[in-house]
Amino acid sequence: SSGRVFGGRDAGWAQARVGALCGRSVAMAGAAGEVEDDEKRETLLGDIFTILDQKRRGFISRVELAHILDAMQADSSIKFAVPEPLVLTDGMKDSRVTMIDLRKFLRAFGAADLEDVKWFAESVVKVETELREVWRRAVQRWRERVERLYRRNLHRYLLASQPERVARWLLLRTSMDLNSKDEAAVGLLGLGITQQEVEVLFTDETAEDIARCGEGIEPFLEALDMAGKLSETCLEGDLSQPCSPEQNARICEILARMVSLSKRCRELACLFIHEDALSFATAIVSTGAVSQAVIAEASRFIMALIDYRVHENARDYEKLCRQRLAEYLELDSVIDSIDLARERQNVSSARQQPGRHALKSLETSRRCISDWVGSLLMLRVDFDRGEMLDMLIKYDERRVTLESEGGQRKSEDSPVAVSLFSWGRTAIYLLCRLDISSHHMLHEHRTVLRTHLWKLLLNILASAGDRGRRLFRAGRGMHVICSVAQGNAFGLRREELAPEEEEDREEEEELIVHGIWGSQDPSRAWPYIELADEGLKEHRYYEMDFLDDEFYGSKDRALATAFLEYMSSGAVWGEEALADEMMQYPNTLQVLSKLRPPPCLLLQKLLNSPGFSEYLHRIARRIAVASTEEALQAVYMADATRHSLFPICYDARQADKSQAFLTVKAQILEVEAQNIALRILGHAHHCLQVFLAEERALADAQQSSAAAEFEKAASLERPIAECSGLLAARLPLRAEELGDLAVSIYAQLRDFARRSVLAANPLRASGAEKQTAQGAAASWRSSYFGRYQEQILGHKALQTARSDCQSKSYGIADDKGDGQSLHISEPSLYPYEFLVALRIVELISLRDAWRTAPFLVELQDSLEQVTGQRPFRALMDAQENPDFAVAEFPWRTGLAPLRTFRLSQVPLRRSELRRLPRESPLDIVSGLESTLAAYQSLDLWKDLPAEDERSTAAERRRLSMLAVTFGHLCFYHPQTVTLEDSSQGLSFRLGITMEMLARVRETLQEPPFEGVQAVAAFAALRAPAGWSCDVLHCSSKAAVLTLQALSGEEAHLAFVNLAGVWMLWANCTNDLSQVLSECSRCGEYFVCDGFNC
């Protein structure tokens, strides 16, 4: 052992010891030199051998003895020479030296020399014994420290803190099995950390070296102590009560120290993760029993642990740590199995558990990162929530920023790490808190905090690739974006009620009024274009959600749309993937088109998607299923509150009845789905056009900044026009369907115009009782048609007309000097279906502009007038006409003045129309004959005083005849007609005579036209001699029949059949040099460029 001391790192110390003993060595040498006794030499040699042979092995080390003799040479008083076999050299090999060898090597030494050697050997052995004891205690302390960690299977994290040889020794005693926690299964090949094994490990190490190894273990022991102390402190006292202020302060101190330890090195963080500190810290945050300071410190501790990303760089012996962190980060979560309704309830109840009992149940319910984030999102104090959100955002952004800026990326070329929040349910919780269409207890109310939520969500999903898309879809991200984007700009205010009370109030409202949403806000929500999800009130909003907008602005809405635009970049999702996500929500197009300003870029991406047509069909069918079922239930379901199939009921569950019912339902459903698809596209186009009109009006109103406003409006026109063009291109209408659609709109428009005028012009009552009944009837009419009858021309003449009409049966006002009589009103509040039809017709015109028939153009014009998109032409037509007084026309004689009459204001009563059927061309000819004859026999052409009652009655009668002629018997588009004020004026303007009508009537009454009514029958006939008969099919609902006499008096008339109703063509209005019945270009009116309307 002396050889180990002198040959090791303590050789210098031995030489210094020799120098200290030099004086005594000289004195002893002088005394011993006097007598040399062989017996004494033998005794000294035996003593030297015994001193050096401490283990009584019968030999000593030659190297050890050589070191002693070499060290003694440092004393100048030593005179002996070291024997040749004991001279210390660099490459000297050790060997055994027996007593005989010792005598042989030291035979030249005298007694005094041997005395010096003996004393020196005793000193060396004594010093070595003391050092050995110090070394042994150091080994013992190191073993005890390691054993504390070894018993908990934590010694594996010491490897980086120990020298390489010690780390290898520990690694051999570390199991790679995840499930092995007991001491017996820890080591490999039966190895352990017994005292003997540790002494062998440190055989060549000094106490100082061992102490330095032990210092590396101290932080791990402290970490273990802190973890235990944290648990004890949190569970002190009554667990049903919150922590006391003093207890919160101690918890904060402990957590702060744990944060410091975690940031010191990765292995300390692994130890905490191994000990489930992540789950326990999350439970602390989740409980409502600690202070905000504790929550903040626990959150810093969690971030310090997960920041090392052990799941990405774990070593083989860190499998358990990697598994714990993977479980915490929810790396193996199945996104498709997420139940959104349940998760919404989970995040809302994250901090509703009172007390600290949850801290004791971690073994049965381990917490994860989404629980931590969800708890922070549900903090009760707004400032605390904002502070924690800001902390999360800054932490997550560190993976994006450079190291020079405090981030984690080494350079701009370094890849951006995936967000640790991008697994599991964290993104789902963020979306739940952003969904302002949910109940007020489930979402975030502060605009500022919603802005923070959008930033965090964007950072998370942008780094997650395809997994981010799946999370976005699982959380119904498009629905959330649309709900935030529309905010409180649309819909109804929602009261802050409990869910149960809200449900009961909705039932109560259904008893009072049906379809309250559509009736209260028709201008903002077209019926049957949006699909409402169960449990969500997408058309309602809470005022409390937008209280911040006055000061902070609606930045969350801007971020919602900016979120989609950012995701469309190729580095994130790309345009195709974004469009796919946008089509996961049924109301995306409906909501985006309503925004102000509209996000044209997003709309273009959606409409340009290859799957948009299929998406539109799918959504329209889903909406149609709901609306059709609702409509049919009113037909066959028993309801004792009204007349219905009751008490004998129609049971649709019976096989025979069910099959018949399903057949009818399928047919209705198919048609309704097509209508709803058109409505959705028309609604989007309508919103864009309304916004553009508002911007133009704003530019016109603000003349001081007109240049800027006009420039803004002009910059919007092009993208809006592009969006409208894309909408038109997506119309699910074939070419052959356009004519039928136009005819259906035309028929409804004419019928509405007639009935609206009737509602505004009630019959005169006679007697008090009739007056009372008439008042009740008028009140009922107002609720049906009267609400559509408001003045749209706000000049005083109409106000006078309203007061004057009360004393006139037909509401005819005085002549205002422009050749017309003013009636009471025009429709301005109209059935919303006409606006729907207008927008659909506009889209058709955009898609088929080069082949649009004039019929469709004039139909669009009529829709624009009735919906108020442009002023009524009734009062302007006469002003727009050329100067009739100087013009020469074939229908003018010049013997009577011209007069313009408004046709749209004269009511057409049912009794009057019943006498004039329109089932065949013969009916039209007969009706015109009788009407023209009656017109020519009016008293107006006699010389009567202006105040004569006969003159007034004749004026009324003339208006009625003109309305019947142009509004019932003839196909005529304008709202007014100008003709000569004479008995022949109407005949001349139409371009027909009584003789012509008689000849045509006689022809139609004879074979082969006798009794023929259908268009197909006329097409199959062969015209009689002297006549030509041509049938032009414009669509399945529109056809033109042309009759022309080939000899004799000219007779060339065209009859139009629209949806089975015959009318005389009298719409040659573009060329005033022609009579109205001129029909040479009649076919082109319905057919353009060989394409059927």
Which carries the bigger pLDDT value, residue 870 or residue 21?
870
CA 450 to CA 439: how far, in whole Å? Answer: 16
Instruction: Looking at 477-587, list the stretches that DSSP marks H as alpha helix, in order from N- to C-terminal side.
Output: 477-486, 499-512, 516-520, 549-552, 555-567, 575-582
Contact 502, 474 (CB under 8 A): no
Residue 710: the pLDDT is: 56
CA 855 to CA 742: how far, in whole Å? Answer: 8
Q: Phi/psi at 206 (nearest 5 deg)?
A: -85, 170
- Say whether pLDDT at 30 is over 50: no
CA 1084 to CA 1070: how far, in whole Å? Answer: 13
Of residues 929, 882, 931, the one with CA closest to residue 1069:
882
Lowest mean pLDDT among 149-163, 281-295, 545-559, 564-578: 545-559
Show the beta-strand stretches assigned E in 915-998: 970-971, 976-980
> What pTM does this model have?
0.79
Q: Phi/psi at 1053 (nearest 5 deg)?
A: -125, 155
Give the tens place of pLDDT for each residue, 235-276: 888 888 889 999 999 999 999 999 999 999 999 999 999 999
Residue 768: the pLDDT is: 52
Give the tens place of pLDDT for each residue, 130-188: 888 888 899 999 999 999 999 998 999 999 999 999 999 999 888 887 654 444 444 55
Handedness of CA 670, 674, 679, 681 (dihedral sign): positive
- The residues, any chain, with a CB within 8 Å of residue 474's CB and separated by 6 or more, are 335, 336, 338, 340, 428
Helix, strand, coil percent content, the chain, rounded in steps of 5: 60, 5, 35
Residue 1036: the pLDDT is: 83
Task: State mean pLDDT over 281-309.
Answer: 93
Q: What is the mean pLDDT of the chain?
A: 81
User: Tokens 């274009």 correspond to what residue?
Assistant: 529
Of residues 431, 427, 321, 418, the one with CA closest to residue 369:
427
Handedness of CA 570, 572, 576, 579 (dihedral sign): negative
- Say whether pLDDT at 648 is over 60: yes
CA 1041 to CA 1066: how far, in whole Å? Answer: 13
Residue 821 in 3-state DSSP? strand
| CA Rg value for the chain | 51
Instruction: Looking at 193-318, list the stretches that DSSP marks H as alpha helix, in order from N- to C-terminal side.
Output: 195-201, 207-215, 218-234, 245-264, 266-274, 277-286, 292-306, 310-313
Q: What percent of the chain has pLDDT over 70?
A: 82
CA 970 to CA 963: how far, in whole Å? Answer: 10
Provide the 10 A C-beta neighbour count for residue 62.
20
Residue 618: the pLDDT is: 94
Residue 9: the pLDDT is: 38
**Omega of the bond leading into 647 within 30 degrees of 0 (cis):** yes
Give helix then strand counts, H and E, for the chain.
47, 13
Which carries the bigger pLDDT value, residue 426 or residue 877?
426
CA 683 to CA 689: how far, in whole Å? Answer: 10
DSSP state of 415: P
> Which residues on adjacent β-strands are paired with residue 1039?
1033, 1057
Lowest mean pLDDT among 86-90, 877-881, 912-916, 923-927: 877-881
CA 762 to CA 782: how far, in whole Å? Answer: 11
Of residues 962, 918, 907, the one with CA closest to residue 940:
962
Residue 23: the pLDDT is: 42
Quickly state the pLDDT bin for 803 (edges 50, 70, 90). very low
Give the tens place of pLDDT for each residue, 716-755: 888 999 999 999 999 998 878 888 899 999 999 999 888 8
Residue 536: the pLDDT is: 60
Quickly state the pLDDT bin for 420 (edges 50, 70, 90). very high
- Say whether pLDDT at 325 is over 80: yes
- Say whether pLDDT at 658 is over 80: no
CA 933 to CA 938: how far, in whole Å? Answer: 9
For residue 13, the one-letter residue type is W
CA 1079 to CA 1093: how far, in whole Å? Answer: 18
> Which residues on adjacent β-strands are paired with residue 1045?
1027
Residue 5: the pLDDT is: 39
- The residues, any chain, with a CB within 8 Å of residue 1056's CB and separated by 6 or more, are 971, 1038, 1039, 1040, 1041, 1062, 1063, 1064, 1065, 1082, 1086
Give the tens place of pLDDT for each residue, 440-471: 888 999 999 999 999 999 999 998 989 999 99
Q: Phi/psi at 1013 (nearest 5 deg)?
A: -130, -40
Residue 712: the pLDDT is: 63
Residue 204: the pLDDT is: 85
- The residues, any chain, with a CB within 8 Å of residue 160's CB and separated by 6 or more, are 167, 265, 266, 267
CA 431 to CA 447: how far, in whole Å? Answer: 14
Of residues 102, 64, 99, the one with CA closest to residue 83:
102
CA 25 to CA 845: how far, in whole Å? Answer: 125
Q: Phi/psi at 1031 (nearest 5 deg)?
A: -120, 125
Residue 806: the pLDDT is: 32
CA 540 to CA 494: how far, in whole Å? Answer: 6
Give the tens place of pLDDT for each residue, 335-387: 888 888 888 888 877 655 667 877 876 554 788 999 999 999 999 999 999 99
For residue 872, the one-letter residue type is F
Residue 522 in 3-state DSSP? coil
Q: Which residues of 198-213 are buried (b: 16+ CB within 10 A; e: fewer)?
A: beebbeebbbebbeeb
